[in-house]
Amino acid sequence: MKLNFANDRLLAVMAHPDDAELLCAGTLARAKADGAAIGIAVMCSGDKGIGSTPQADLARVRQEEAAAAAEVLGAQLFWLGAGDGELFDSYEMRKKLIEIFRRFRPTLVIAHALEDYHPDHRAASQLAEAASWFCAARGHVTDSPAADAPPALWFADTINMCGFEPQIYVDISGHLPVKERMLALHRSQLGRSGDADFAPLAELMRRQCAARGAQAGVAAAEAFRPHHAFKRIGAY
């Protein structure tokens, strides 16, 4: 069985500038190769992802890194700009994200898992979930007209696979190089390998793709769980 994304528009709603690279860029790359349109919405600016050597103007640096990575993929980048650790579900943030959904018009949204280890990831996930419903409700007025229908929504794996039970594995064996190239562009983060709050990212990402691949009998995979909610479940 092979999923085909040719007629899809995928929007990854991630908390930090490098989260898409870690958790779903292989799937985005595969969908792109099928002919899908790709968007990445980054909720937080990454301003507090500082290493032992502080960096001036970190949010701006990270936005540039994210833009470069998005370009590798051919993805549209949306930047929400919340402060790290300060992202919460609110009507104001919902409306910002609803407007992005209405402009990009995704058929499939990829969000963090609601039970993810990072508070920002969980808040981003709640906002993506809310926007996936409200984007098609015309009563919530933003600049763009309401979507025709809510998109399907998948929750992405957690870092190190902690506490996540996958339901769908996407074979990304042929797309690992793109994912690696994208991650390599986040230089401000890769330089933090000696930091206590930071794992060696590239290695961690490769090992996780290999582990998920081994579970499903392919060289590399990314794992997801569809959101089993009214109109957000896709039928494949």
Q: Which of residues 40-79 bind its own copies (CB under 8 A)?
A: 47-50, 52
β pairing state of 168-171 and 221-226:
antiparallel
143 counts as binding its own copies under rule CB under 8 A: no
Spatial separation of the C-alpha atoms in residues 151 and 107, rounded to whole Å: 5
196 counts as binding its own copies under rule CB under 8 A: yes
Considering the complex, state which of residue 50 and residue 68 has its C-beta at the smaller distance from its own copies.
Answer: 50
203, with CB counted inside 10 A (0-12, 13-18, 19+), is: exposed
145 counts as binding its own copies under rule CB under 8 A: no
Smallest distance from the beta carbon of 57 to its own copies, in angstroms?
14
Residue of 168, 181, 190, 206 that binds its own copies (CB under 8 A): 168
Considering the complex, state which of residue 7 and residue 71 has its C-beta at the smaller distance from its own copies.
Answer: 7
| H/E element, 41 | strand 37-44
What residues from 205 to 224 belong to the interface with its own copies (CB under 8 A)?
Answer: 207, 210-211, 213-218, 221
Please choose, out of 15-23, 72-80, 143-151, 175-183, the segment that lies near its own copies by the rule CB under 8 A. Answer: 143-151
Spatial separation of the C-alpha atoms in residues 21 and 8, rounded to whole Å: 20
